[in-house]
Structures are given as C-alpha cells and as structure tokens.
Amino acid sequence: MFSLIRRGPQMLLVESNDIEGLKKYMVEKFNAVIEEDHDSIFGSVSEGSTILSITRQMKDILNEKDIVGKLAVAEEADVILCKLINERHSEFVKSIRTAPRLIILHSMGDLDRVVEEIQKDNGGTVGAFMELWNSGREKGTIVAVTDKLLNRAAHVKDLYEKCLYIEQGFYPLFKNLRLNALKYLNKGIGNKDWFEIEIRIYDRYSAYNLHYQRLVDIFNFLDLGIILGESWTKDYPRFMMAVGVYRLRFFTFYNLKYIKKILVGMEHLEDGTRIVDYDVYYQRKKMDWTDALEAGEPRIRHLLGLKYREEIFSRLSPQEAEEIKLYEQEIINTRY
C-alpha cells in the first residue's frame, strides 16, 4: 500500500554473432518477449525481470542504433547467465556486461525538488534516462522519479526527465532511499500536512473480510495512504444498541473530502445497491456523506455513490476493475 520505491528490471548488454539463434533460445527457454523500442519493453517487465539489449559489436558506449534486438525476460539476470553457461550455449554470447541497476521512486508535485534532494543526500550526476543507461558505465545505479503509481507497469515516458546516476552499490542505496522515501515525497508536495483518520466498516451480513480486502485493494490501486492499525470496536447507531464494526487507522495526505468521496463511491455497486457502511472520523468527529458534496451534485445518496464509483473505476486498469468486481460478486453471494 502506498508504494514509494521499487526496483526496476535488470539490464544486460549482449554481443552476439548469432542474434537470431540467441533470440530463439531465449523465447524457447524463458518465454522471452521480443520488443521493438524501449518504452514498450519497459512496459512489459517488472521487478525481478531482465532486459537483454543485443548488439553485433560491444562498445564502451552503445547508442540506440547499435542495438539490433531487445528481449524482455521474466527472470533474474543471474538465472539467465547460469542457464546459458550450464547448457553450454556460449556460442550465442561473444561478450556481455551489465548496465547500471535501476531504482524508481514515486513522488508528486515538484519533482525537480525531489531530484535535487536525492542528489543532495547521495551525490550523483543528472541526465535523461536513456543518456545514463547508454553511458557505458557498468557500476552504480540509476535513480528515476515518477508521479505514476508503482503497482503498474512503468514506461520510459512515465519517468521524470531528470534522472540521477549515483556511484553506489544497488542494495545500500536502495536501503537508504527506502528509509528516506517519505521525506522525498514530502519535499515534492511542499511538506503538506498528513491526516490520520479512522474508517469504520459495518455490514449487517458480516462479510467483513471481503469488504476489508476490497477496500485495501482500492487504497493500493489508487495509492491513497497507509494503514497504521486495525481492530474491532463497537458503534452505537441507536441508544443502547451496540453493533460490531471493524476499525482502520488510516494515514493520508489527501484532502479528507476526497477520501470521503472514495468511500461513498465504494459503498455502492454499479446498480446503485449499497452494500456496506464506510464511516469516516477525523479528530473524533464523524464526516457525513453530504460533506463530500460539490456544488450542483445531487443530494441523493445512491446517485452520488454511482457518480463517485464511476470516477473511481475510470482510474483503474481493466485487471484492477475486474478484481474489485470479483470481490463484489462474493459479497453479493453472502446475501443469500
């Protein structure tokens, strides 16, 4: 939830005298995907994957025109190298070297200030991503900043134009950046105040686990904040009437009105049926659903819920939307 840092794919530069043979081997052994350009190849890999850039002649600095093939492989680089060596396929590889490792940070607001703060703490030189990747350096790490969510595929075009090349080992630098990721985020958004709110989940059919998992997925998909704690408690909707509710302590820098809109939208299915109560408390004061209203919006709860739900789903990928709908079908099944 609220992912602020992740690894990029590993990158190997391979000189080969049998380019087609190497491609065929990688496709057969690793289900490698052959890509045409850098943006599409970055969109098809994730953490734990490797990008192979193939050239006919290794140079100190390889430009785009020197690369004759690109492969996206859903495997770590050391596994690929071990298999090539153990199966004695050295004929595919004349020489090989690593490109700098990649770390991607999620931030918002003034990304220039974020890059400056990272450079202030860790040193490094500034450059465009492709410039740094093709620099011929084998050691060190590239640090890229993006305002896009890290739980989705990252494309080169999503990275901020200024990246950093830092002459530090990958793992010590990753640990240091992870410890300071929240500081860099705050620098980008201008040191905004964070809000600690309480969210109470109530369902008369007691499908609490499903409602919780569905809500956590929305928090993850939209990068809304951090859950600080959770527990059971009691609420009193009427005098002397106690009901069990599940309580979350939630930490966010988003406007409380925006969070309430999200929760009003997620209380409803796409046909307008209200399936859960998500109550929001800030400084022990409960926010009413009308607190989310904007000028001109209907003061009819299910219509408002449908409007906000539609806005939420417009920001989800097709796979994410399908996952939420599967939870909703399970919730419906508990009604029978």
- pLDDT given for residue 238 in this prediction: 59
Q: pTM (2 decimals)?
A: 0.76
- The pLDDT assigned to 244 comes to 74
Q: Rounded distance, CA 182 to CA 192, Å? A: 12
Least confident of 64-73, 110-119, 299-308: 64-73
- By CB neighbour count within 10 A (0-12 exposed, 13-18 middle, 19+ buried), where does 127 fall? middle
* Sign of the CA dihedral running 8, 13, 19, 21: negative
What's the confidence (pLDDT) of residue 310? 95
Q: What is the pLDDT of residue 93?
A: 87
What is the model's pLDDT at position 240?
52
Q: Are 128 and 115 in contact (CB under 8 A)?
A: no
- Give pLDDT, residue 182: 87
Least confident of 43-47, 95-99, 176-180, 277-281: 43-47
1, pLDDT greater than 60: no
What is d(CA 151, CA 115) in angstroms, rounded to the nearest whole number? Answer: 21
CA–CA gap between residue 134 and residue 13 (Å, rounded) = 10
Instruction: Supply the pLDDT for residue 143.
Output: 96
pLDDT bin (cut points 50, 70, 90) of residue 242 is low
Section 35-47 average pLDDT: 76
At residue 125, the pLDDT reads: 94
The per-residue pLDDT for range 290-331, each reduced to its tens digit, is 888 888 888 888 899 999 999 999 999 899 999 999 999 999
Query: Exposed/middle/buried for 105, CB within 10 Å: 0-12, 13-18, 19+?
Result: buried
User: Exposure pattern of 75-91 as b/e (b: 16+ CB <10 Å)?
Assistant: bebeebeeebeeeeeee
The mean-pLDDT minimum among 83-87, 181-185, 273-277, 325-329 falls in 83-87
Which pLDDT does position 133 carry in this prediction?
A: 81
